[in-house]
Amino acid sequence: MIPVELILLALAPLFLGFIAWEWFSSRKLTPARYRWQDSAANAVLALLHQGSDMLALLLLMPFFIWLHQYRLFEIELSAGNIAIAFLLQDFLYYWFHRASHHVRWLWASHVTHHSSRLMNFSTALRQSLTYPLSGMWLFWTPMILFGFAPTLVFAVVALNLAFQFFVHTQAVKKLGMLEWVFNTPSHHRVHHACNARYIDKNFAGVLIIWDRLFGTFVPEQDDDPCRYGITDDFNSDNPLLITFYEWRRMLSDGRQSKSGKQLLTVMFGAPKRQSVTGKEGRGYDSVET
């Protein structure tokens, strides 16, 4: 077992405890914040994602170690350098996340996370096993070239993702001054919403400062409650259908391409944006579930 996976495995009981608390405390609310079918799909998707991530790291770690020999600086392991690594990785995560909403090849993986029409702690587990294929790991290579050891880089990635578990909830309202610096449940509800004003906003991992700096921040508005999911009628509890939904659409469009340039646009251009509500949004028209 590699250290990165041990971090998330060690935190799993904590995650499950928060899910159980949120479900129990919200069980009488209408509309319901949990459906067992949705949560079961999230759990299966989490296991598939962890398995693919573990396999990808085992296969790619020799490449990362090879790449590290070309590092620009010798960076020792210290509290200060770990803090710098955390800040740099969070900055790179912002750009990975933003690209995942604007590049169809990346969106094909990321759409899995946005496909649920519910927002609860278990939604954080709803991840795609195809992230290694779409190339999420490429966004961390600058840190390795800069001089951070690969094991430290991926440990910091795991801690960043662990933090993000706690922003997937409706149980926590706004958090005062913390809203100015950190990604919070309020900010992340906006990110998961398919309301026209909220789409493709608040890409933060841990720090919301990147969104504020680069013009992608939008606060949650009381007069425009968040509606969750992608802006079409896709709604499935089948983990495989959820995982390959966008890949199937993209490949279908690719087969119809008339030229290499058109194929590249299909794969690496912006995701199609067609909403059954007539509002701009992520996703496609209806599919069978």
Q: How far is CA 154 from CA 19, 81, 157, 203, 214, in A?
A: 25, 14, 5, 20, 25
Domain annotation covers residue 53: yes
Establish if 131 belongs to a structural domain. yes
Determine the Cα–Cα distance for residues 38 and 154; give it in Å rounded to an integer: 29
Domain membership of residue 48 (yes or no) is: yes
Q: What is the pLDDT of residues 41-80, one digit of tens each?
A: 999 999 999 999 999 999 999 999 999 999 999 999 999 9
Residue whose pair of structure tokens reads 């801690």 in the numeric block: 159
Note the pLDDT of residue 277: 43
pLDDT band with cut points at 50, 70 and 90 for residue 133: very high
CA distance 247 to 40: 22
Cα(111)–Cα(123) distance, integer angstroms: 12
Per the domain annotation, does 273 fall within a domain? no
Q: Is residue 217 part of a domain?
A: yes
66 occurs within a structural domain: yes
What's 226-283 look like in SS3?
CCECCCCCCCCCCHHHHHHHHHHHHHHHHHCCCCHHHHHHHHHCCCCECCCCCCCCCE
Residue-range definition of the domain harbouring residue 251 = 3-19+35-268
Question: What 3-state class would DSSP assign to 178?
Answer: helix
Q: If 0-12 CB within 10 Å is exposed, 13-18 middle and 19+ buried, where does residue 173 land? A: exposed
Could you tell me if residue 106 is inside a domain?
yes
The pLDDT assigned to 107 comes to: 97
Q: What is the mean pLDDT of residues 261-271?
A: 94
Number of domains within the chain: 1
